[in-house]
Amino acid sequence: MRIDFLFLGKTKKDYLAAGIADFRERLKHHAEIKVRILKDVKPAGKPDSKIKREEGALLLGRLEPKTFLIVLDPGGRDYSSEKLAACLGEWRDRGVNHITVVLGGALGLEDEVLARADLILSLSKMTFTHEMARLLIVEQFYRAFNILAGTGYHK
């Protein structure tokens, strides 16, 4: 299975970038992992709606046609770690071999990106910075694979 994490803009906090790199390395034992960073859209006086459209077009333009798309959005489904693991196992068993996880910009995701999603997922009802959300979703995929493997990591 291949999992691509698609993020807008660099992770500026070193400790978060290090955490993402750590879990990315750990995930390599379970799947082929790519973390792709796209250059974020600079506001430059643009209205929010235009920024969201440009970000949406950028994200959609980088998706492979048959990828299973998971997008993070506050209005998405609120899964437990066990539920995410169960879904991951089901997707694997159904032959899903490529998953892309998208985290949009600070303004949220364009409607077209949400419409393309196979799953809209919320990390929590709490609010996190985008950089923290990156670390959390990569760690949750690592946790999901470990739940499926029956290791002690989840305890």
Q: What is the pLDDT of residue 44?
A: 85
Q: What is the pLDDT of residues 60-103, one digit of tens each?
A: 999 999 999 999 999 999 999 999 999 999 999 999 999 999 99
Quick: pLDDT tens for 2-55.
Answer: 999 999 999 999 999 999 999 999 999 999 999 999 998 888 888 989 999 999
The pTM of the whole model exceeds 0.85: yes
CA distances from 111 to 54, 60, 107, 125 (A): 12, 11, 12, 21
Domains in the chain: ranges and CATH: 2-149 (3.40.1280.10)
Tell me, what's the pLDDT at 155? 74
pLDDT in tens, 95-144: 999 999 999 888 899 999 999 999 999 999 999 999 999 999 999 999 99
**Per-residue model confidence (pLDDT) at position 152:** 86
